[in-house]
Amino acid sequence: MLVTFPHMGNAYIAMKSVLEDLGVDVLVPPPCTKRTLELGAKHSPELACLPLKLNIGNYIESLEKGAEVIVMAGGCGPCRFGYYAEVQREILRDLGYSFKMVVLERPQGNVRDFVKKLSMITGGKSIMQVLASIKRATRVAVMMDELEKLCWQVRPRERVSGTVSRLMQEFHSKAYKARGSRQLSALIGEYKNKVSRVAVQEGKEVLRIGIVGEIYTVIEPYVNLSIAEKLGCLGAEVDKSITVSYWVINHLIKEALHLYNKRDLNEASYPYMRSFVGGHGQESVANTVLYKRKGYDGVIHLLPFTCMPEIVARSALPEVSRQYDIPVMTLVLDELTGEAGYMTRLEGFIDLIRRKKELDKAYEEVLPGN
Amino acid sequence: MKKYYLGIDVGSVSTNLVLLDDQGSLVYRDYLKTMGQPIKVVQEGLKILKERMGDVSIAGAGTTGSGRKLAGIMVGADVVKNEITTHAVAALDTNPAVNTILEIGGQDSKIIILRDGIVSDFAMNTVCAAGTGSFLDRQAARLQIPIEEFGDLALKSTTEVRVAGRCAVFAESDMIHKQQLGHRVEDIVYGLCQALVRNYLNNLGKGKDIKPPVMFQGGVAANRGIREAFRRELGMEIEVPTHYDVMGAIGAALIAREAVKSRGITSFKGLDVSQCRFGVRPIDCGGCANMCEIVEIIRDGVGIACWGDRCGKWSSRVGKYA
């Protein structure tokens, strides 16, 4: 039984880890490419949001390679996402593929049900074995995000530009072949080491930019046109408010156990948004505030075209930007592959915050005691 | 010998060249149609410049616009800058107090908010053509009015005719409807100007604090109907700089002057670049399923730059060209 799942940035590493530790044969879909998007766009409803289309593309490319089971997240969605798996199943059936789809819903207070669904794929593995492999996969996800974070920090400072990106390309092609949590964590460790040894320009002043927005567009580099890499090359260190491990730990595990603590987020977003608005809309507003407090120079807000929760967030962000004096730029992503306009906006934004930073610094110098 | 600074703005519709003297005053300007051939038009522009100005000494060059990278490689630009920054720099040079820049070109439009002489916010149009010059062009053609007379005709309007501006497709059908009802052409034309302005402000101006002085630049600023519609909609005077249609190129030249002054040396290859034989070699990279369309820029038979790849396999070779 060959199991596959859709891509979302480095999420495939955690998925591989959990499934392979349970003895499941995993087929990671080929990385998202133009073909993935073309396949997805061709077979999806035109007005569906971009992630759904890429998911479809991933499935088709995996099914072509012999995948038999698709694992997809579900849930009674706060946005269209909750309905994705159902629509996708129908689309693939209409196309004539034969497969089994397992929809993992976030355990709403019922962890046993979640584990039961997982064991549908894993065969007769005990609950303890399943839980243990989830635990190991969570660790792998955390390590992977640490590696990514390291890249975001090193890239703007590297002596020879492109070094980090080259290392990471190497990493991903090896990660496709690695098996199970043991090999994956060893590989991540090895590359953490390599990236941390990349020659950097000591003491170089870099800009710091936080990225907020809809989870898929923030995490999947194909959709955001590798925004972290582009900003890194423009001399900015980035941080993403949502990562794979954050999602796994907070939304899958803690929320299921009623341990997810949103106090910080609620406090930060309170003047602008007092409740959950679906997806990560509230988080986008809250994290913009939190980035300012952490001393970031600017925030970029990403969303796929027609994403409702982030449209709500977008209408609150100009006020946050004004009151907290932090530049915020919203970028709406869709099936675009032309990068010229995108680069213009990123470069324009970098110029803007660089000049602002210089000016703020000049003010501090003339106002002693500040 | 007097020193000059060259600015080149390669846009989707037009390519503009300007020459500034050491004081930053404009001494030469040229406006050419890009017609999808940026390499040819840049060379043509440089040739005309040389014919008209003689062998002037150019101390620095900057490029901007969507073709900035290509033009930058061709002429050896000292700076390759995005349009947001160049437009802001040029506007500030004309009026240091400017707080808002409205810019409408052929294919795109932008709004730039400035405070205390620096850019504090900006937006560019995304998926909509209704807020751009090509929309006006098309409607003018449909009404068989030369685009140059479009604005003046709009000013003759006495009655307001509302045309939907949400989308170019709706606008067109709405306009045909009004025509068939017998409304006068000048009223419809002014209605179109208002529709464009409404679309622009709703699309780009939302959530932005538009404060005077407001400067209006880009090719569409020539249209007096649009200026009037902006003035009424915003309730503010709209300033149109003398060289409104080449502001991007002016900004690029100004930034080049600054860069050359701090570096002390220019990388500009000279006006004779127009004599070189430029070519492009398309490469279909089959390295992965992305099937990137790579373009290699060739000067006199030698590759000088490469781009178009997602992974960096080709573009990283630029180092070898330098």
User: Is A255 a domain residue?
Assistant: no
Contact A359 B118 (CB under 8 A): yes
Alpha carbon of B277 to those of A135, B33, B43, B124, B284: distances in Å?
Answer: 62, 21, 10, 35, 23
In this structure, is residue A254 part of a structural domain?
Answer: no
A293 touches A286 (CB < 8 A): no
Specify which of A60-69, A358-367, B69-78, B151-160 reaches the highest per-range mean pLDDT.
A60-69
Cβ contact, residue pair A33, B288, below 8 Å: yes
- For residues A362 and B267, the model is more confident at B267
* CB contact at 8 A, B127 and B109: no
Please report the number of interchain residue pairs, chain A to chain B, with beta-carbon separation below 8 angstroms: 72
Domain B96-240: homologous superfamily in CATH: ATPase, nucleotide binding domain (3.30.420.40)
At A323, is the secondary structure helix, strand, or coil? Answer: helix
Provide the shortest C-alpha distance from residue A127 to chain B (in Å).
40
Measure the CA–CA gap between A98 and A120, rounded to whole angstroms: 18
Residue at B202: amino acid letter: N
Residue A116 has a CB neighbour count (10 Å cut-off) of 12
Domain annotation covers residue A256: no
Q: Which of B237, B220, B206 is nearest to B99 (CA)?
A: B237
Q: What pLDDT is recorded for position B318?
A: 54
DSSP string for residues in A89-116: HHHHHHTT---EEEEE---SS-HHHHHH
d(CA B152, CA B149): 6
A305, A318, A348: residue with CB nearest B122: A348
> How many angstroms separate the CA of residue A352 from the nearest CA in chain B?
6
Cβ count near B40 (within 10 Å): 14
- Domain-located, residue A130: yes
User: Is A200 inside a domain boundary?
Assistant: no
Kindly determine whether residue A34 and residue B311, on different chains, have CB atoms separated by under 8 Å: no
Q: Which of A317, A334, A351 sits opposite B84 (nearest CB)?
A: A351
For residue A361, name the pLDDT band (cuts at 50, 70, 90). confident
Q: Is the pLDDT of residue A338 over 70?
A: no
Please judge whether B289 and A344 are an interchain contact, meaning their C-beta atoms are less than 8 angstroms apart: no
Tokens 């289309």 belong to A53
Pick the residue from chain A with its C-alpha nearest to B313. Answer: A166
Q: Quickly state the pLDDT bin for A161 (edges 50, 70, 90).
A: confident
Residues of B whose CB is below 8 A from A359 = 116, 118
Query: In what side-by-side order are the strands of the sheet with A25-26?
Result: A25-26, A2-4, A69-73, A100-104
Residue B273 C-alpha from the chain's centroid: 23
Q: Which of A96-110, A329-343, B120-134 has the lowest mean pLDDT?
A: B120-134
* Paired tokens of B244: 């409104």
DSSP, residue by residue, A205-219: --EEEEEEE-HHHHH
Beta carbons of B291 and A226 less than 8 Å apart: no
**Nearest to A85, CA basis, from A49, A128, A47, A56:** A56
Mutation site, A344, A345, A347, A349, interface B, largest B CB count within 10 A: A344
The answer to whether position A167 is within a domain reads no
User: In a 3-state reduction of DSSP, which class is residue A5?
Assistant: coil
Contacts of B120 in chain A (CB under 8 A): 327, 352, 356
B66/A318 CB distance under 8 A = no
Q: Is residue A55 part of a domain?
A: yes
Does the N-terminal peptide bond of residue A30 adopt cis geometry, omega within 30 degrees of 0? no
With CA atoms as reference, the chain B residue closest to A347 would be B82
Partners of residue A327 in chain B, C-beta under 8 Å: 120-121
Give the phi and the psi of residue B150 in degrees, each rounded to 5. -55, -50
Q: Which residues of B touch A162 (CB under 8 A)?
A: 312, 316
The domain in which residue A79 lies consists of 2-135
Domain ranges within chain B, ordered by starting residue: 3-87+248-275, 96-240, 278-321
**Using CA atoms, how far apart are residues B180 and B174, in angstroms rounded to an integer?**
10
Residue written as tokens 């045309």? B163
Q: Measure B187 CA to nearest chain A CA, in Å.
A: 35
Residue B140 tokens read as 């003018």
The first and second tokens of residue B55, run together, are 């062998």
Phi, psi dihedrals of residue B116, rounded to the nearest 5°: 50, 40
User: What is the number of structural domains in chain A?
Assistant: 1
With CB atoms and an 8 Å threshold, state whether B66 touches A344: yes
Q: What percent of chain A has a predicted confidence (pLDDT) above 70?
A: 95
B74: tokens are: 């061709």
| Residue among A305, A322, A348 whose CB faces B82 most closely | A348
Distance CA B252, CA B78 (A): 10
Q: What is the distance in angstroms between the Cα of B292 and the nearest Cα belonging to chain A?
A: 9
Q: Is A221 helix (H, G, I), strand (E, B) or coil?
A: coil
Task: Name the closest residue on chain B to residue A328, using Cα atoms.
Answer: B121
- In tens, the pLDDT along A105-115 reads 776 666 677 77
Query: Among B207, B312, B316, whose Cβ lies nearest the Cβ of A318?
Result: B207
Amino acid B322: pLDDT: 42
CATH number at residue A46: 3.40.50
Partner-chain contact B116 A359, CB within 8 Å: yes
**Contact across the interface for A332 and B126, Cβ inside 8 Å:** yes
What residues of chain A lie within 8 A of the CB of B310, using their CB?
Answer: 226
Q: Please give the CATH superfamily to which domain B3-87+248-275 belongs.
A: ATPase, nucleotide binding domain (3.30.420.40)
Contact across the interface for B82 and A334, Cβ inside 8 Å? no
How far, in Å, are A86, A246, A255, A286 from residue A77 at the CA level? Answer: 12, 18, 14, 21
| pLDDT tens digit at each of 322 positions of chain B | 788 999 999 987 889 999 999 888 999 999 998 888 888 899 999 999 989 988 888 999 999 988 898 899 889 899 999 999 999 999 999 999 999 999 998 777 899 999 888 888 898 876 566 677 888 888 888 888 888 888 888 888 888 888 887 777 777 888 888 888 888 888 988 988 888 888 888 888 887 889 999 999 998 898 999 999 999 999 999 999 999 999 999 999 999 999 998 888 888 888 888 888 888 888 888 777 677 788 888 888 888 888 777 777 777 665 455 4
Mark yes or no for CB contact B310/A226 under 8 Å: yes
State the helix-helix crossing angle for B185-203 and B147-155, rounded to 10 degrees: 100
Vertex A269, ends A268 and A275: CA angle to 5°?
A: 135
Give the dihedral sign, CA A149/A155/A156/A158.
Answer: positive
